[in-house]
Structure 1
Amino acid sequence: MNLGMILIWLAFICGWGATFYSINYYTASNHRAKMRWNKLEMLCTACITLSSFILVIQLLSVNASYEYVFDHSSTDLSWFYRISAFWAGQEGSLLLWTWATLVMLLLLRYIGHTKELSETRMIDITRIVTMMVVSVFLILLVIDNPFSAYRILPSGTIEATNWNPFAILYDVPYGQGMNPLLRNPWMAVHPPVLFLGYAAFTIPFAAAIGNLITKDSRWTLVARDWMRIAWLFLTLGIGLGGFWAYEVLGWGAWYWTWDPVETSSLIPWITATAYLHAHTRTKHGEYGFLAPLLAVASFILVIFATFVTRSGIWASVHSWQDFTTEGLIIAIFLIMLTGSSVFLLAKRYLEDEDDKKGTATD
């Protein structure tokens, strides 16, 4: 039995269930729905955590019956690189990103200013939006399941399945191992640090959406610390990537070249930096529109960077070179994200302009 695959499917069901009940609670103030929302959110986090642990075990033991393990782990790799193989491919890195976002969502409920604001509509929206983002990631995990496994058909053909957890696995005696370019100590820190930064951008984005809908100025209490965390991890991730590129690729003795993936990760860093500067003035009543704009833009640009990496449209040493269903879903998600955000921002801008005119008239 493929327990990892079952857990991914359970996480998918729990994640979408949590999203459904969260919206139901917000629209109908159904407290039973809130209880189910909280429980399903916890179950989703538990499933993703356990599936991540199982994947690490399979990578360490080089159980090459799993397609992901076969592609990225091998017996000639040290344990150090076998663990690093977790984020060496699309499926594993997405699993890491999903897990990090869920853990941050869990922390959002129980620490810091969120505890004081837990009963506000703004926090409800922050959690709902974050869970909706996670739900999209769960769709991608179901399609590109890291526990896709090899099985042998009655005809003798060997194929990989990502939908049948009860298939008898074909015993693959070896794995082909990690890409030689990735066999570097920086592999252990650069990708996970970067994905932790990407995950942390979700909370300020969701809080900004909460502000745009409710006009609750306390959103900055939530967004500020998470944006600092996101900025810190993204800064470290970009810097570590520069050292890695200098060491392995050379790039003419430069730490940086305007590689599409590099550039697309730098842009949200710029908007996040701008947000952190703008935030210092929000307490004085300034940048009431610009601050949420920058928080929203930062996350959208993170998703755009993901699209650049995973779509295969742009040639890059970082990107996967084929346009898959995953790339299409990310593109659709990016369009929906941008469209809905522009609508909310435009609505807020027009409302603010009307308020200014009303004040001037009075």
Structure 2
Amino acid sequence: MNPGMVLIWLSLVTAIGAVLSGYMGYRKSNISVGKLSRKLEITCLVLAGSSMLLLMYHLYTINASYSYVFEHSSADLEWYYRLSALWAGQEGSMLLWAVSIMTMLVIVERTHNATLSGTALMQTTRLISLSIVCVFLILLVLKNPFSAYHVLSDGSVGITNWNPFVQMYDVPYGQGMNPLLRNPWMAVHPPTLFLGYAAFTIPFAAAIGNLLTHDKRWEAIATNWMRIAWLFLTLGIGLGGFWAYEVLGWGAWFWSWDPVETSSLIPWITATAYLHAQLRYRHGEYGFVAPLLAVASFILVVFATFVTRSGMWASVHSWQDFTAESGIIALFLSVLILSSTFLLAKRYFEED
């Protein structure tokens, strides 16, 4: 049996259950349904976190029967490279991102439990964050990090992404990590960047909550997490520059305006602008600009993800050609832009 594959599926089921029960509990003011939603949320975090730890274990022990392990881990890699292989590919990095968002959401709920628990703002922030997690988990179900090799009826070896009960084919070795990634910066640059990306989710969800509920306390949630996102993104971009300088040269520069590199800089700029704008927001100004910048920062992060994973831009960071997963990210990005534009336009005309 393939327990990792099942864990990913159950994570998606519990995440969807948390969203639906949370929405119904809020709409009907049903406390018991609301409690069920929170239990499903924690269950989802435990399941997804367990799947991530299991994948790291397989990468460390080089269980190459899993295609992700075969592609990114090998016996000649040091232990820290094997663990770093978690974020060397799309599936592992998506899993890390999803687990990070859920962990941050739980922290938000615990931190603001005394002041915002049960409010429309917190419920909206929570449901939007969980909905975003659902998108990541859908991508993980479609391209499962626990896809496994197995023997087909004709004797050839294939890969299954859906059947956890097949007898897995024993692959004796892994092909290992891309040589460009075999650098000590690999252990810190990608996870730092992904933690920054994940942290942008909370300000976005809180800003949408403000646009829907007009609760000005959204800034208390958003600002601290925007600071965290800004810090991690700053470190991630800086560490990436050092890595590129060492490995790629780029004419003795740390920056080359690579498409993916540049797309990660743009949300850093909007996040910086938000951190300045929120100082005036507390004095009754920038009632439109502050949520606009919080929303734009997250949308730009999703756009950066699309640039990386769509293969439409030539970059040293790109992973693949345009696939169904790229299409889902494009659809997700479109929904974010359209819905956010509608809410922001509504707020703009309300202020006029």
What are the Cα deviations for residues 277-325 of structure 1, in whole angstroms up to 9, with x where unaligned? 0001111101011000000000000000000000000010001131111
Structure 2 residue 4 is the aligned partner of structure 1 residue 7: no
Q: CA deviation at 1:25?
A: 1.9
**1:159 aligned counterpart, secondary structure:** strand
Asked if the contact 1:109/1:115 (under 8 Å) is kept, the reply is: no
Structure 2 residue 19 is the aligned partner of structure 1 residue 19: yes
Question: What code does the residue aligned with 2:133 have?
Answer: V
Instruction: Look up the match of 1:191.
Output: 190
Structure 2 matches for 1:118-137, cutoff 5 A? 118-137=117-136
Alignment partners' CA distance in 1, 2:42 and 2:90? 25
**1:63 aligned counterpart, secondary structure:** coil
Structure 2 matches for 1:156-305, cutoff 5 A? 156-305=155-304
Instruction: Look up the match of 2:345.
Output: 346
Alignment partners' CA distance in 1, 2:207 and 2:26? 17
Structure 1: tracts of 5 or more residues without a match: 354-362
Q: Which segment drifts farther, 156-165 or 293-302?
A: 156-165
**2:85 aligned counterpart, secondary structure:** helix
Alignment partners' CA distance in 1, 2:330 and 2:113? 32
Instruction: Look up the match of 1:356.
Output: none
Question: What code does the residue aligned with 1:88 have?
Answer: A
**2:159 aligned counterpart, secondary structure:** strand
What are the Cα deviations for residues 10-42 of structure 1, in whole angstroms up to 9, with x where unaligned? 001001111111221222222222111111101
Give the structure-2-normalised TM-score: 0.99
Instruction: Look up the match of 1:360.
Output: none
Q: CA deviation at 1:106?
A: 0.9
Q: Quote the sequence identity (%).
A: 66
Q: CA deviation at 1:119?
A: 2.1
Asked if the contact 1:315/1:321 (under 8 Å) is kept, the reply is: no
Asked if the contact 1:95/1:141 (under 8 Å) is kept, the reply is: yes
Asked if the contact 1:114/1:222 (under 8 Å) is kept, the reply is: no
Count of aligned positions: 352
Alignment partners' CA distance in 2, 1:14 and 1:139? 12
Q: 1:238 to 1:263 in 2, by over 3 A?
A: same
Instruction: Look up the match of 1:151.
Output: 150
Question: What code does the residue aligned with 1:96 have?
Answer: L
Instruction: Look up the match of 1:316.
Output: 315
**1:160 aligned counterpart, secondary structure:** strand
**2:77 aligned counterpart, secondary structure:** coil
Question: What code does the residue aligned with 1:259 have?
Answer: D
Q: 1:230 to 1:83 in 2, by over 3 A?
A: same
**2:101 aligned counterpart, secondary structure:** helix
Question: What code does the residue aligned with 2:314 have?
Answer: A
Asked if the contact 1:114/1:123 (under 8 Å) is kept, the reply is: no
Give the structure-1-normalised TM-score: 0.96
Instruction: Look up the match of 1:79.
Output: 79
Alignment partners' CA distance in 1, 2:159 and 2:16? 26
Question: What code does the residue aligned with 1:98 have?
Answer: A
Alignment partners' CA distance in 1, 2:204 and 2:298? 6
Q: 1:136 to 1:235 in 2, by over 3 A?
A: same
Alignment partners' CA distance in 2, 1:336 and 1:223? 21
Question: What code does the residue aligned with 2:26 have?
Answer: Y
Q: 1:143 to 1:319 in 2, by over 3 A?
A: same
Instruction: Look up the match of 1:101.
Output: 101
Structure 2: tracts of 5 or more residues without a match: none
Question: What code does the residue aligned with 1:79 have?
Answer: W
Q: CA deviation at 1:114?
A: 4.7
**1:320 aligned counterpart, secondary structure:** coil
Instruction: Look up the match of 1:39.
Output: 39
Alignment partners' CA distance in 2, 1:143 and 1:26? 31
Alignment partners' CA distance in 2, 1:91 and 1:338? 25
**1:150 aligned counterpart, secondary structure:** strand
Q: Which segment drifts farther, 281-290 or 24-33?
A: 24-33
Instruction: Look up the match of 2:328.
Output: 329
What are the Cα deviations for residues 16-70 of structure 1, in whole angstroms up to 9, with x where unaligned? 1111112212222222221111111011000011001100110010000000000
